A and B are shown apart, each in its own frame.
Chain A
Amino acid sequence: MLNRIIFLVCSLILFTACHQQTNSNGEKIPVIGASMLSLQSEFVVNLKDAMGAHAKEKNVELIVNDAQRTAEKQVQQVETFISQKVDAIILNPCEVEASSPAIAKAKAAGIPIINVNSETSATPDGFVGSKDEQAGEIAMEQIAKLLGEKGNVVMIDGYMGQAAQIKRAIGAKNILTKYPDIRILAEQTAEWDRAKAMSLMENWIQSYGNKINAVFAHNDEMGMGALQALEQAKLKDKVIVVSIDAIADALQAVKDGRLDATVFQDAKGQGTGAIDMALQLIKKQPLENNAIFIPFQLVTKENVEGYMKK
């Protein structure tokens, strides 16, 4: 037992010692700590990969922690970054309110902190991300267009109470105020989960049958689940399905003409943007703009090829 503890302590010391690396010129390599919402989400993984690739390019050391959707854990991770004396922190917030103390703590320690992808109620030193309302707006606008501004929509929500779910729903409903002839027939959560969305769609087909004209799902996973349920019920050619995130599966489905549209959130743009902004702050260069919004982009069969390489 004691051997194991000693081994653990030694490896920890070695590990932290490695952190103070220097480059060939003898300059200290800047270290950026990143606390990510959840590395079980494909989009966040893509975001992390984009940040990692760009950090390598810029010769920056990037430490990535997974907050596992827990704000409390996220705050602890930022505290650890502070005590490790990293040069900058990138925060991919779990929650609007509960992740805010992390911002205050970093600022108090004089370490620049940037929010990536989504917002907190506390203001960080910089922000790179997208507005989730916009994704809902783009998706619902596309549905309205395909429906000819008339028809019944069912909406599959993300995990209730999470920022992305709330904002995507708000965006979609904003658009619907413009189209009085489009009605939301039913709204239910499938918790971002493909299997759950598939079951939900099957059940809706039973109760609404031919009345459903379009499906809006808050993410592609759920959109794909709804799509499969519709295809099994042989209803897909009558129902429009639009979702958000542009994951690989969804892009393929758009290309094959199964999914009507998805909305691309630019993980690469956000990731590289965040690293660049962090470097500027480390070098104490002034920012032209401390809030960079990377726009969402509509993906349809016409332009899908361009996104499949990204």
Chain B
Amino acid sequence: MIAGKLKQGSNIISRYGIFIAFIVLCILLSVATPHFLTGQNLLIILRQVSVNGILAIGVTFVIIAGGIDLSLGSVVALTGVVAAGYAHPNTYPLIVPLLIGLFTGVGVGLINGLVITLGKVAPFIVTLGMMTMARGLALVWSDGRPVSNLSPAFNFIGGGDWLYIPVPILLFVLVVVVSYILLNNTTIGRYIYAVGGNEQAAKASGIRVNAVKLFAYIICGGLAALAGIVLASRITTGQPNAGIAYELDAIAAVVIGGTSLMGGRGTVTGTVVGVLIIGIINNGLDLLNVSSYYQQIIKGVIIIGAVLLDRRNAR
């Protein structure tokens, strides 16, 4: 009887391990500093995580489909400078930089996906190559300089509020909701899980595996572009060297959220919690004014610890 209860208890931990870790972290920070648990600070955390959040959701699609995307950070820079190039005041209407930026990201995703599926090259290699290519393109496009002097309409995307809520947060929430529905309630979402879980079986079930993978990389590229636009708008410049190593934070968030790097398993909600964990660590350690050197160590420990807790119980 008691054993049964204990088992039930450990079941709860195994299902919600990462959520519990998240809540424990929140409680610890609330105790450590009075500035943490304020409405304004929470809003700030959400705004700060929105770029990484959008990226992490994008790469969640790819990782569930059994792939990986290392080109995210560079795509952020590329789409940022490209969109900024069309966003100077009194030049084009807002829709032009947005669409051009998004198409750039989708294009990169399409190329990644085509080389991976038709060329049969490992995703790690293809996106590693794309990482440096996109970075180079961003530098060529911008001539190595930040693209600044952007229109107020463009800057509203990253810096404005709508109904008292910062626009990046709204975009992030929108991305989360749409992605959740895509992965859970649509046929293509189901196919993404199947392809990542067992490509052979998916193929034998009549799923067009290449098309599914292509879809995942395009979504990922498109969301990287959205993140790039939000970032450029937030810092009011397109920076060719923005987003360096952003892919690592995004992938870390996905992994913390319980998505398997082997593919086939993972959730949007998990990724959101992973993103929030990374966000509150950054915010909390700044609030506590922990030295930069120690911040890096603490972050690493928390990331590994969170995943360890998840894995230990997820038997």
Q: Contact residues of A with B, CB < 8 Å?
A: 39-42, 45, 157, 160, 186, 188-189, 193-195, 198-200, 202-204, 206-207, 221, 224-225, 228, 232, 247-249, 252
Chain B residue at minimal CB-CB distance from A232: B159
- Determine if A204 and B234 form an interchain contact, defined as CB atoms under 8 angstroms apart: no
- Determine if A42 and B145 form an interchain contact, defined as CB atoms under 8 angstroms apart: yes
The 10 closest A-B pairs by CB, nearest first: A203-B286, A45-B144, A40-B241, A194-B235, A189-B292, A207-B287, A207-B35, A249-B148, A206-B41, A206-B35
Can you list 15 pairs linking A and B with CB atoms under 8 Å apart? A40-B240, A42-B146, A186-B289, A188-B289, A194-B235, A194-B242, A195-B51, A195-B234, A195-B242, A199-B282, A199-B283, A202-B47, A206-B41, A248-B148, A252-B148
Instruction: Choose among B145, B237, B241, B283 the residue that contacts A203 (Cβ–Cβ < 8 A).
Output: B283
Interface of B is mostly: loop
Q: Contact residues of B with A, CB < 8 Å?
A: 33, 35-36, 38, 40-41, 44, 47-48, 51, 139, 143-146, 148-149, 159, 231, 234-237, 239-242, 244, 282-283, 286-289, 292-293
B241 contact set on A, CB distance < 8 A: 40-41
- Contacts A41-B241, A42-B146, A249-B146 aside, 16 further interface pairs with beta carbons under 8 A come to A193-B242, A194-B237, A199-B283, A202-B44, A202-B47, A203-B282, A203-B287, A204-B286, A206-B40, A206-B41, A207-B289, A221-B239, A228-B159, A248-B146, A248-B148, A252-B149
- Determine if B236 and A228 form an interchain contact, defined as CB atoms under 8 angstroms apart: yes
Query: Nearest Cβ distance between residue B302 and chain A, in whole angstroms?
Result: 17
Q: Known contacts A195-B231, A198-B235; is A188 also within 8 Å of B139 by CB? A: no
Chain B residue at minimal CB-CB distance from A154: B289
B237 contact set on A, CB distance < 8 A: 194, 224, 249
A199 to B242, CA, bound (A): 14
A224 to B40, CA, bound (A): 22
Query: Nearest Cβ distance between residue B38 and chain A, in whole angstroms?
Result: 7
Chain B residue at minimal CB-CB distance from A247: B146
- Determine if A160 and B292 form an interchain contact, defined as CB atoms under 8 angstroms apart: yes
B38 contact set on A, CB distance < 8 A: 206
A40 to B33, CA, bound (A): 38
Query: Nearest Cβ distance between residue B173 and chain A, in whole angstroms?
Result: 19
B146 contact set on A, CB distance < 8 A: 42, 221, 247-249
Query: Nearest Cβ distance between residue A229 and chain B, in whole angstroms?
Result: 9
A45 to B36, CA, bound (A): 41
Query: Nearest Cβ distance between residue B234 and chain A, in whole angstroms?
Result: 7
Instruction: Choose among A193, A206, A221, A248 the residue that contacts B287 (Cβ–Cβ < 8 A).
Output: A206
Chain B residue at minimal CB-CB distance from A38: B241
A186 to B288, CA, bound (A): 10
Chain B residue at minimal CB-CB distance from A41: B241
Query: Nearest Cβ distance between residue B41 and chain A, in whole angstroms?
Result: 5
Q: Known contacts A42-B145, A45-B143, A45-B145; is A188 also within 8 Å of B286 by CB? A: yes
A45 contact set on B, CB distance < 8 A: 143-145
Query: Nearest Cβ distance between residue B28 and chain A, in whole angstroms?
Result: 16
- Determine if A195 and B144 form an interchain contact, defined as CB atoms under 8 angstroms apart: no
B289 contact set on A, CB distance < 8 A: 186, 188, 207
Q: Known contacts A160-B292, A206-B287; is A40 also within 8 Å of B144 by CB? A: yes
- Determine if A39 and B286 form an interchain contact, defined as CB atoms under 8 angstroms apart: no
- Determine if A207 and B286 form an interchain contact, defined as CB atoms under 8 angstroms apart: yes
A91 to B88, CA, bound (A): 36
Q: Known contacts A157-B292, A207-B286; is A199 also within 8 Å of B139 by CB? A: no
A248 contact set on B, CB distance < 8 A: 145-146, 148
